[in-house]
Structure 1
Amino acid sequence: MLKEDPLVPLDLAGFNTTPVDQAATLLAGCLEVPRWVDTVLDGRPYPSLAALRAVAAGITLTPEEIRRAMAAHPRIGERPTALSRSEQSGVDSTAADRFRAANTEYEQRFGHVFLIRAAGRGGEEMLAALRERMGNDPETELAVAGRELVEIALLRLEKAVTA
Structure 2
Amino acid sequence: MTSSSTSPASAMPGLARFNAADGDVALALLREVCASAAWAREILARRPYPDAEALLGASDAAVAALGTGDLDEAVAGHPPIGRPAPGDPVSAREQRGMAGAPAGLRAEMLELNLAYQEKFGHVFLICATDLTAEHLYDAIRNRMDNTPEREREIVRGELGRINRLRLARLAVHPVSEGATRP
| TM-score (norm. length: structure 1) | 0.87
Trace 1:108-127 onto structure 2 (pairs within 5 A).
Answer: 108-127=118-137
Judge conservation of contact 1:76–1:96 (CA < 8 Å) in 2: no
CA RMSD of aligned residues (A): 1.8
Shift of 1:82: 2.5
Corresponding residue of 1:49: 52
For structure 1, which segment, 29-38 or 65-74, has the greater mean C-alpha deviation from structure 2 after superposition? 65-74
Trace 1:117-156 onto structure 2 (pairs within 5 A).
Answer: 117-156=127-166
Corresponding residue of 1:40: 43
- Per-residue Cα deviation, 1:16-36 (whole angstroms, up to 9, x for no partner): 111111111111100011111
Judge conservation of contact 1:31–1:69 (CA < 8 Å) in 2: yes
Structure 1 spans left out of the alignment, 5+ residues: 1-8
Judge conservation of contact 2:101–2:133 (CA < 8 Å) in 1: no
Judge conservation of contact 1:77–1:97 (CA < 8 Å) in 2: no
- Could you list the structure 1 runs, at least 4 aligned residues long, displaced by more than 3 angstroms after superposition: none
Structure 2 spans left out of the alignment, 5+ residues: 1-11, 174-182
Q: How many percent identity over aligned positions? A: 34
Corresponding residue of 1:93: 101
| TM-score (norm. length: structure 2) | 0.78
The structure that has the greater radius of gyration is 2
Opposite residue 24 of structure 1, the aligned amino acid is: L
| Residue among 8, 12, 31 paired with 2:15 | 12
Bigger fraction of residues in helix: 2
Matched, 1:70 2:75: yes
Q: Aligned equivalents of 1:144 and 1:106: distance in 2?
A: 14
